[in-house]
């Protein structure tokens, strides 16, 4: 079974600061990788995803993530955060083989101060 670890539970940044949220997964086979975002009081929305090809994927709102297979990592980045990026961010993984459910990390709460 796969597992996902998000290293930071809470991150506080000032506007215009750069962001990097860590995500590591554990699984012996090939995987699909996702980042979801949950704005306060709202449901989870897909931010970006990696299935195959270029390991650097770009998502909505200026976010990007890089899949580093050797490190089992899929860190989320944004060069300059905005107050509106305040939200909880979830990394998720599932196995490519067959059909498997998503395994979510515990989430990282990002607070951006204006």
Partner 1 sequence: DAGVIQSPRHEVTEMGQEVTLRCKPISGHNSLFWYRQTMMRGLELLIYFNNNVPIDDSGMPEDRFSAKMPNASFSTLKIQPSEPRDSAVYFCASSTTSGSPHEQYFGPGTRLTVT
The stretch among 22-30, 46-54, 66-74, 76-84 that binds partner 1 (CB under 8 A) is 46-54
Select from 96, 40, 91 the least CA-distant residue to 66. 91
Residue 94 Cβ vs partner 1, minimum distance, rounded to whole Å = 5
Residue 16 Cβ vs partner 1, minimum distance, rounded to whole Å = 30
Establish if 59 lies at the interface with partner 1 (CB under 8 A).
no
CA distance 79 to 20: 9
The two three-digit tokens of residue 54, written as one number: 């270029």
Among 12, 14, 51, 80, binds partner 1 (CB under 8 A): 51
Among 2, 5, 49, 66, binds partner 1 (CB under 8 A): 49
Establish if 94 lies at the interface with partner 1 (CB under 8 A).
yes
Establish if 77 lies at the interface with partner 1 (CB under 8 A).
no
Establish if 8 lies at the interface with partner 1 (CB under 8 A).
no
Q: Are 2 and 95 in contact (CB under 8 A)?
A: yes
The set of long-range contacts for 52-59, using a CB threshold of 8 Å and a minimum separation of 24, is: 59/35
CA distance 77 to 66: 8
């Amino acid at each position: 079974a796969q597992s996902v670890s998000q290293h930071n539970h809470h991150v506080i940044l000032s506007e215009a600061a750069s962001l990097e949220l860590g995500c590591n997964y554990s699984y012996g086979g090939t995987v699909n990788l996702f980042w979801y975002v949950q704005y306060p009081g709202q449901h989870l929305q897909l931010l970006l995803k990696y299935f195959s090809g270029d390991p650097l994927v770009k998502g909505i709102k200026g976010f990007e993530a890089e899949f580093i297979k050797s490190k089992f990592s899929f860190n989320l980045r944004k060069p300059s955060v905005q107050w509106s990026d305040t939200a909880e961010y979830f990394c998720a993984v599932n196995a490519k083989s067959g059909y498997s459910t998503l395994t979510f990390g515990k989430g990282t709460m990002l607070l951006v101060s204006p």
